[in-house]
């Protein structure tokens, strides 16, 4: 466990939520923040630069990634390689951009056990916590350590060859997708849970998503929305040629296996849309809950349902049913 993780104590919000550090460190002890931004847009660069300067004035050691240093030209920052050491001992990782930028930042922060907070500058930005107009308030929460940190379930995937040999491993915060390698062919798969086959069918692919990922690719494929404090794995077939190919919700302790038919051109495993591994004909993919969660910082008390309404613009202001409360209730 890193020093950043040791500074957080278990809170009371839910079993998966950690509270802020109770006693702020003296100002003589430097605090560290890593900033990651989508530098392809001038408005994002301007906002990230402003936050860099504000944190630096407050005594923070501010880190930025090498590939973003030319765009975030701020005096006094520490430039670090964009690897899994960039966030070591960082108190927080602040992400400026959409969900794609957030998932890129997760790759840096996850092994360091550093919490991430996202400033949404994308379209949906479901992984983000705050909006650009609330950045000043967010900075205040960071300075005062008045935020909580949630644990988000992630998954690990292993690709096996036809003979059972391990061909590769990866992980994902949102989802692992097993997709057909050829656009002109149907992918024939068999689904197994804990070693017992449930069904088989032809399809474009199969998603194994986390609750965090239930509002991403799995949602677009017809899967259910799952609250992030629910520990479960989602199995969502995509474009399946079958009468029974419904999404499934399985326990986090289960092993999901996607077995690929021996004929055909095999498949491609894709993790969070960022990391890929080939799956040969006759191979299989096994997906399990990871022992390494992702930590997400939150500064607002807004519940997940309210965020769902806001992000997807649900018609919550239309017909509203109010149940009658019985006397003495």
Domains, the chain: 3-152 (3.40.50.10330), 155-289 (2.60.200.30)
Segment 166-176 shows an average pLDDT of: 98
**Which range has the worst mean pLDDT, 21-35, 84-98, 169-183, 268-282?**
21-35
Task: State mean pLDDT over 98-123.
Answer: 92
Q: pLDDT, tens digit, for every residue of 203-254?
A: 999 999 999 999 999 999 999 999 998 999 999 999 999 888 899 999 999 9
| Predicted pLDDT at 73 | 83
Terminal-to-terminal C-alpha distance of the chain: 47
* Model pLDDT, residue 243: 83
For the ranges 22-36, 42-56, 76-90, 107-121, the lowest mean pLDDT is seen at 22-36
The pLDDT score that the predictor gives to residue 269 is 98
pLDDT for res 304: 78
Q: What is the mean pLDDT of the chain?
A: 87
Q: What's residue 2's pLDDT? A: 44
Report pLDDT digits (tens) over 290-299: 999 999 999 8
Q: Which of 46, 83, 84, 99 is catalytic?
A: 99
**pLDDT average, residue stretch 171-200:** 95
Helices 42-57 and 135-144: crossing angle in degrees, nearest 10, is 30
Q: What is the mean pLDDT of residues 178-200?
A: 95
- Is 83 an active-site residue? no
The pLDDT of residue 244: 82
- Asked whether 81 and 65 are in contact (CB, 8 A), the reply is yes
Q: Count CB-CB contacts under 10 A for residue 85.
A: 12
Per cent of the chain over pLDDT 70 is 86
Assign 10 a pLDDT band (cuts: 50, 70, 90).
very low
Confidence of residue 123 (pLDDT cuts 50, 70, 90): low
Q: pLDDT class for 162, splitting at 50, 70, 90?
A: very high
pLDDT of residue 265: 87
Strand partners, 59: none
């Amino acid at each position: 466990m890193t020093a950043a993780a040791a500074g957080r104590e278990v809170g009371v919000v839910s079993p998966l939520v950690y509270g802020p550090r109770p006693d702020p460190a003296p100002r003589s002890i430097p605090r560290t923040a890593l900033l990651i931004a989508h530098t392809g847009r001038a408005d994002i660069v301007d906002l990230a630069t402003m936050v860099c300067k504000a944190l630096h004035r407050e005594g923070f050691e501010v880190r930025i990634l090498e590939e973003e240093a030319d765009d975030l030209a701020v005096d006094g920052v520490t430039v670090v390689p964009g690897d899994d050491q960039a966030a070591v001992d960082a108190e927080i990782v602040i992400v400026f951009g959409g969900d794609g930028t957030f998932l890129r930042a997760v790759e840096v922060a996850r092994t360091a056990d550093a919490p991430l907070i996202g400033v949404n500058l994308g379209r949906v930005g479901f992984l983000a916590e705050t909006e650009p107009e609330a950045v000043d308030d967010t900075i205040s929460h960071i300075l005062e350590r008045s935020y909580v940190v949630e644990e988000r379930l992630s998954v690990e995937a292993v690709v096996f060859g036809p003979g059972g040999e391990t061909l590769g491993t990866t992980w994902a915060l949102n989802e692992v997708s097993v997709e057909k390698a050829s656009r002109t062919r149907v992918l024939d798969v068999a689904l197994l849970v804990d070693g017992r086959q449930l069904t088989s069918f032809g399809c474009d692919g199969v998603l194994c998503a986390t609750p965090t990922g239930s509002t991403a690719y799995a949602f677009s494929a017809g899967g259910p929305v799952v609250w992030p404090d629910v520990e479960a794995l989602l199995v969502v077939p995509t474009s399946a040629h079958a009468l029974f190919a419904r999404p499934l919700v399985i326990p986090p302790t289960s092993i999901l296996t996607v077995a690929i038919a021996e004929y055909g051109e095999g498949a491609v495993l894709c993790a969070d849309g960022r990391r890929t591994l080939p799956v040969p004909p006759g191979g299989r993919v096994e997906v399990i809950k990871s022992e390494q969660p992702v930590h997400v910082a939150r500064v607002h008390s807004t519940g997940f349902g309210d965020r769902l309404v806001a992000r997807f613009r649900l018609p919550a202001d239309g017909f509203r049913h109010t149940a009658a409360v019985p006397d003495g209730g």
